[in-house]
A and B are shown apart, each in its own frame.
Chain A
Amino acid sequence: MHVRVFELVTFALLCLLIYLGIARAKKTKPYVRPFPALEHIDEAVGRAAEMGKSVHYCTGWGGLNDEWAPVTTAALAIMGEFAKACGKYGVPMRYSCIRSHIVPIAEDIIKFGYDTGGHPEMYTPDMVYYTSEEQRALMSAMMGYIMRERPAVNCIFGATKYETIHSVGTGAIAGSMQFAGTPRLYYLPIILCTCDYALIGEEVYAAGAVVTGEPHQLGSVRGVDFFKMIIIALIAISVILSSAGTDWFQRLIEFVAG
């Protein structure tokens, strides 16, 4: 027995607050700050329809089997929104991927998007392009595709690594409208520089909820915000305690029972 008390309490408190947020949201829909990246999906895909070009999407290096599963899930939720817009305007979509277990999921999401959007006949299984399990293969495939086809909209969301640069770099040269977002800090400055609409850090997770527009999803974002207030309070306590010259806070968070 080796109970991590402080971590467990933090985790339980976070879960409780999110649950309360969701429960409250069922009565009154909470306000959520607008995300320009999500609001312009329709406009961008509409532009693609005018130009007669495609939409390229990628969830990057992360899969569902590793520690990046939550980000990938959020990225797939955003992809669902793009697929719906593509179905609405009749724009072909292409999804590049290096995780074979995502292939069937992505096929389902895109098919569902075209079905609900109103152009079910446009969907083909070719829209998901799997390029082996390796990152370099994905990079070269994306570079080639973006330069050959010049998609009107180029997106990369999720747990992305170096392929971010290949995607947004080629996209910037090809003149695509770019959407990107990742919680991986290292690539955020590049995304901010080259993309028209970016999601920074935690915004990707929140966007996964906001994109659905369902009240209970928004409620979870509300719960998270309350937890952040607690975090700020904890930081203040930590500052006071360490300025007073004690290490009580350090001992508190490392407290292990059993």
Chain B
Amino acid sequence: MAVILKRGEIPIILFTVVSGIILFSYFTGLIPEVADELIGWSIILVSFSYILGLVTLLRYHLVRIRKREKYWPYSAILLAFFLMFLVSGLLGGVGGYEGIAVSKEFKDFLWLHMLAPLQTGVLSYVGFYMYTVFFRGARTRSWDIGIMLITAILLMLYTAPIGAAIWPGFVPIGAWLKDVANSGAYRGIMIGVGIGLIALWLRAVLGYEKSYLGGGR
């Protein structure tokens, strides 16, 4: 029995059956409730899997704190904020249950006034790194990069308010590039990506692609 259960085919069969049912429902319009149930499973399964990540992260930081490795105080700070948010969140009400108001307020404070500015700060690096890209990356190493950069400059003059003030002709050029030239190429890439994705699914069904199950098989 154990030998049968350990066989590598079982996960592949599960993969095939689950995705086969959803695809069958998609193409024929039959058994939509079964397909919806299966998609609903993935939400529950993902919630169960959070523990795996938590265990890894806790082990990582607890080991650092115990061994007093470099930067260990930061690990302690991380764990402190983790516990603060989790405990205040759970006490403040979870899963539709009402909790203690003060605790909920503290959770909201952490969320709104500590996390929100931190995360906007991290997100704002998208703006900063664009200039790194322009400075370090945007160099005409070959003809194709040159075309990309010229198009990019034209588009920037089209989108920025100042562009039309400099020369109104930037607007039709930018609009043509964006709506015609871009969407033609975009379609080509989309078709390729779609086909590649289905090919990968089929390779997984046939049992050739097993990366999603981990190595060492």
Point out the residues of chain B lying under 8 angstroms from A221, CB to CB: 199
* Given A77-B211, A115-B216, A126-B60; A183-B54 close (CB under 8 Å): no
Number of chain B residues whose Cβ lies closer than 8 Å to a Cβ of chain A:
61
Chain B: CB-nearest residue to A173: B132
- CB A117 to nearest CB in B, in angstroms, measures 11
Query: Would you call A193 and B137 a contact (CB within 8 A)?
Result: yes
Decide: B125 and A143 in contact? CB cutoff 8 A: yes
Chain B positions within 8 Å of A7 at CB level: 27
| B-side contacts of A112, CB under 8 Å | 214-216
- Judge if A32 is at the interface, Cβ distance under 8 Å: no
Chain B interface helix/strand/loop/mixed? helix
Flag whether B77 is at the interface (Cβ < 8 A). Answer: no
Chain A: interface secondary structure?
Answer: helix
In the complex, chain A residues 110-127 whose Cβ is within 8 Å of any chain B Cβ: 110-113, 115, 125-126
Q: How far is the CA of A74 from the CA of B200 in the complex (A)?
A: 8
Number of A residues with CB within 8 Å of any CB on chain B: 89
Say yes or no: A2-B50 contact (C-beta < 8 A), given A65-B45, A183-B196: no
B151's nearest neighbour on chain A, judged by CB, is: A189
Select which of A2, A73, A126, A204 is within 8 A of B204 by beta carbon. A73
Some 13 contacts from A to B, beta carbons below 8 A apart, are A11-B27, A15-B198, A76-B212, A109-B215, A112-B214, A112-B215, A129-B60, A139-B122, A143-B122, A162-B123, A165-B126, A221-B199, A227-B195
Name B's A-contacting residues (CB within 8 A). 26-30, 42-43, 45-46, 49-54, 56-57, 59-60, 63, 118-119, 122-123, 125-126, 128-130, 132-133, 136-138, 145, 148, 152, 186, 189, 191-193, 195-204, 206, 208-209, 211-216
Chain A residues within CB distance 8 Å of chain B: 1-4, 7-8, 11, 14-15, 18-19, 22, 63-66, 69-74, 76-77, 79-80, 83, 97, 99-101, 103-113, 115, 125-126, 128-133, 136, 139-140, 143, 162, 165-166, 168-170, 172-173, 183, 185, 189-190, 192-194, 200-202, 204-206, 208-209, 214, 216-217, 220-221, 223-224, 227-228, 231, 258
